[in-house]
Amino acid sequence: MVDTIKNDPWLPARGQWVQKLIDLNIRLCEIVQREAYLVKQCAESEDLLKDTKKSQQQLDEWHAEMEALNQDYWSVERMLYANYALCPTGPLWRAYLAARKVPQWHLFAWLNEDCVRRGGCCGRACGCCKKPRSSLQSKGDGHCTRMCGCCMESRGFSLNEEQQKLCQPTVNVMCERRDM
C-alpha cells in the first residue's frame, strides 16, 4: 500500500493543489484580518482625533491600504476559484467538498489547537476565530494569521519579518515522511 502511494503519478499534482489551496486560504484570512484591524483603527481614530493634519494623513494611509487589500482580496478570490478547477478528480476533491459542507469547517478541533499553539485567539477569551471578522468580505473566515489585530494588541508589538515567519510557519504538504 505504501509503495502504491509513493509511486502514484498524481501525487505531485495533488500535493501542489493542496499547497496552493492552503496558501490562498491563509492569504484570504490575512487580508480579512488586516482589513478588520484597519476598520477598527479608523473608527477609533476618527472619534478620538480631531482634524489634525497628522491624524488625517494616517487615516488617508489606512484608507489607501484598505483599498489595496480589497483589490488583493478580489485577486486571491479569483485565484482560489481557478485552483478549484485544477483539482485532480477523485477522493481528494470529494474530501475537500465534504469538509467545506460543514458550516464552520475552520473550527475543527485540530485547527483550533494549531491556532492555540501559534498564540492565536483560540487560546484567549476574545472568540475572534469563532465569528466573522468582516462584514465586507464573504470568505476569509479562519484562524489567526500574522495580520490578526487582536493578536497584535495582545502581544503589544508588531512583528518583524522573522517573527512573522514564526507566527505563521509555512505549511509544506510535499515534504517526504521518513516512515514511508
Q: What is the mean pLDDT of the chain?
A: 83
Residue at 173 is within a domain: no
- Indicate the pLDDT class of residue 106, thresholds 50, 70 and 90: confident
Confidence check: pLDDT of 154 > 90: yes
Residue at 177 is within a domain: no
The three cell numbers of residue 36 are 478588520
Residue at 159 is within a domain: yes
Confidence check: pLDDT of 6 > 90: no
The secondary structure of the chain in percent helix, strand, coil, rounded to multiples of 5, reads: 65, 0, 35
Task: Give start and end residues of each alpha helix (H) in 124-170.
Answer: 149-155, 161-167
For residues 110-124, average pLDDT: 92
Mind listing the pLDDT tens digit for each residue in 61-76? 999 999 999 999 999 9
Considering its fold, how many domains does the chain have in total?
1
* Cα(44)–Cα(37) distance, integer angstroms: 11
Residue at 180 is within a domain: no
Confidence check: pLDDT of 9 > 60: no
Residue at 125 is within a domain: yes
Domain around 82:
2-167
How would you label 62-92 residue by residue, b for 16+ Cβ within 10 Å and e otherwise? beeebeebeebbeebbeebeebeeebeeeeb
**8 Å CB contact between 106 and 114:** no
